[in-house]
Structure 1
């Protein structure tokens, strides 16, 4: 819709400019209107094609960053269980590990970034959010992620729910349970969010 509005505005602007210029040069109103409209149509079309190309380039860049972040979290990040650890402790552990993404790709990472009325745990490049939750049993995490992903969707192109699993529950089963519940929300497309469960099972010493 925004692209269509920009196309319409550019058409009007370039048409007026075309009419004015040709009127001055040719001193013929009919001729200037005819040529001006053609100039407007051509300029509007070129603007539309440029905006479409630019939009695809931006989307492609976001998709690439999202894939890189998901791959990094799934394959390179591990968090250690702590008997007295709270969610914020795990967030701080993750903050240190995310610095690798800055070194590797130059990503801009902000901790506890404010978006609208909400505070997202991490925002990467201004458009990809990471929300962390600690699972200690029950379905509290499922409900909280459902609400937060729905609330954050208007402010982020992509979202990642990162669940720290302190229980002996199977990580993949837990992940699918959360994803199944998220199917009920309509704020963000299923292709634009991911759920990752990191296992930090309690150990007996």
Structure 2
């Protein structure tokens, strides 16, 4: 596996990460609540780690080849995003200190759900990762996918740590703006989840 392949994949992955979506909305919401954005970002990265393992193990190909299984995964992921978006909109996060460790753990679990249950993320991995692997290379395909997935996770972690920290820093002393940003992020998660569900429902 050549360094140029890793760099090419990293460039494409970075472009996908900086495009606003469910991860953005979740990170912004988490940035307004809790002592740190690390639990939220760690959850997102852990979710993508699970997706990487699934794809490397070949399970992702089975999921992509099974319309019923892919539809079920899409519905679960979409409904989860909608539920989380509704709760975020109804109870907008506000910047404050003194959150408990349990809140951090709950935020981590939600982060895993946001990225790990996102079928679009799985399909991105299925569509992108194989294009940057070398079947004739010295490394097995699973190992190459692991390296590419690690590059994606590191980039994702760095970017969302910056986004979440910027959110906290910018809106910490602006409660009205923080409330609005939180509700907008919740509405965005509802919209993305609804789109995922409607995209799979028969017309």
TM-score when normalising by structure 2: 0.27
TM-score when normalising by structure 1: 0.27
Which is helix-richer, 1 or 2?
2
Q: Which has the higher contact order (CA 8 A, sep 6+)?
A: 2
Which of structures 1 and 2 has the bigger CA Rg? 1
Which is strand-richer, 1 or 2?
1
